[in-house]
Amino acid sequence: MEFNQEVKKATDPIYQKISKVMPEIEWSIHAPYIHEINKLKKEKNAVILAHNYQTPEIYHGIADFSADSLALAVEASKTSAEIIVMAGVHFMAETAKLMSPNKKVLLPDMEAGCSLSSSITGKDVRLLKQKYPGVPVVSYVNTSADVKAETDVCCTSANAVKIVNSLGVNKVIFLPDDYLAKYVASQTNVEIISWKGICIVHDQFSKNEIINVRKNNPGIKIIAHPECPPEVIKASDFTGSTSGMINYVKDNQPKKVMMVTECSMSDNIQVENPDVEFIRPCNMCPHMKKITLPKILGCLKNETGEIIMDQETISKARLSVEKMVAIGR
């Protein structure tokens, strides 16, 4: 992979956009991959969907669409491309397959998982349904297709409260994120039966960290993802999905902001918000960071990492995602 004149010419407009967040020396390593991937995408009629936690060279360099998990699921259902490459984690690729079962969906690293998704199985949900007969099951989209197949309706961090309220019941089983369940409970009158799953990234933030950041940065706005512990959410100025957090910064243009979430978020949106100063005691998601440009290139070239699911699971799991999409954000 050589950073030659052809590569430089083709990728320069992208670099001009992100030069403030990436040194030239680093760009010269990424650019040949970006050029190759962007050519191959066209040849193969492939689309790259990227989650907001992907690194800037993926987010700005090759993604056709970058978003939170709700918008990624919707986009997967609409695309006319033949191949979808998910620059994200396994549950996101599975959700894309559920929404577009006839498309080839590829994940560049099959080990890119999620601590929430791996905290619960389809069998666990069946046991819960036996224990609480008739109580509807709302599952976070951060779950496997087996769990979704046992679920009445999915939700994401962008619409969890709306989805729970839409059911018109006084009790729901809400899986698997215990902190998101507590957040939803604080926003509704519905009784929530939760599971003990946590996100290993957001669980690391503490109230003391927030208090210290505020002390050292008077006037700062602190915005948190709802996967954070309840006391962190309480100490923050705003709570929303990754796209909700991005929109908060775009719309409010705070002088200083701390995004209580994964590290790449601040890097990615610094580009479009040059006047905002990002204070970054952030945490890295080891799963999201498994996705790299060389892996994306290899997976697209050889069409490896295909998401395969049996027809019965697809049909059952798809219903819960479709219901969520119909209710919306």
**Token pair 């899986």: residue:** 175
Choosing from 227, 233, 282, 309, the residue that interacts with ligand 13P (CB under 6 A) is: 227
Structure tokens at 153: 């309706």
Choosing from 52, 66, 117, 159, the residue that interacts with ligand 13P (CB under 6 A) is: 52
Confirm if 222 and 213 have CB atoms less than 8 A apart: yes
The alpha carbon torsion through 325, 93, 117, 238 (nearest 10 deg) reads: -50
Under rule CB under 6 A, residue 287 binds ligand SF4: yes
Question: Would you give the end-to-end CA distance of the chain in angstroms?
Answer: 42
Under rule CB under 6 A, residue 68 binds ligand SF4: no
- 286 upstream amide cis, omega within 30 of 0: no
| Measured distance CA(264)–CA(61) in Å, rounded | 14
**Token pair 């060279």: residue:** 57
Choosing from 157, 236, 264, 292, the residue that interacts with ligand 13P (CB under 6 A) is: 157
Partner from ligand 13P, ligand SF4, none binding residue 157, C-beta < 5-8 Å depending on class: ligand 13P
**Please, which residue, 11 or 261, has the CB nearer to ligand 13P?**
261
Confirm if 27 and 70 have CB atoms less than 8 A apart: no
Under rule CB under 6 A, residue 72 binds ligand SF4: no
Under rule CB under 6 A, residue 241 binds ligand 13P: yes
Under rule CB under 6 A, residue 200 binds ligand SF4: yes
Structure tokens at 195: 């599971």
Under rule CB under 6 A, residue 262 binds ligand SF4: yes
The alpha carbon torsion through 310, 314, 316, 317 (nearest 10 deg) reads: 120
| Measured distance CA(284)–CA(305) in Å, rounded | 23
Under rule CB under 6 A, residue 114 binds ligand SF4: yes
Under rule CB under 6 A, residue 89 binds ligand SF4: yes
Structure tokens at 174: 């809400």
Which residues, listed in sequence order, are joined to residue 197 by a DSSP beta bridge?
Answer: 177
Under rule CB under 6 A, residue 160 binds ligand SF4: no
Under rule CB under 6 A, residue 142 binds ligand SF4: yes
Choosing from 100, 115, 143, 243, the residue that interacts with ligand SF4 (CB under 6 A) is: 115
**CB half-sphere exposure, 259, CA atoms < 13 A:** 29
- The window from 20-28, 42-50, 65-73, 103-111 that contacts ligand 13P (CB under 6 A) reads 65-73
Choosing from 37, 145, 160, 201, the residue that interacts with ligand SF4 (CB under 6 A) is: 201
Contacts of 271 (CB under 8 A, 6+ apart): 17, 18, 20, 21, 56, 60
| Measured distance CA(3)–CA(25) in Å, rounded | 11
- The window from 97-105, 113-121, 156-164, 249-257 that contacts ligand SF4 (CB under 6 A) reads 113-121
**Please, which residue, 109 or 227, has the CB nearer to ligand 13P?**
227
Largest CA distance in the chain: 65
Residue 260 C-beta: closest distance to ligand SF4, Å = 12
Residue 69 C-beta: closest distance to ligand 13P, Å = 3
Catalog residues that contact ligand SF4 under the rule CB under 6 A: 89, 114-116, 142, 199-201, 227, 262, 285, 287-288
Catalog residues that contact ligand 13P under the rule CB under 6 A: 52, 68-70, 142, 156-157, 199, 225, 227, 241-242
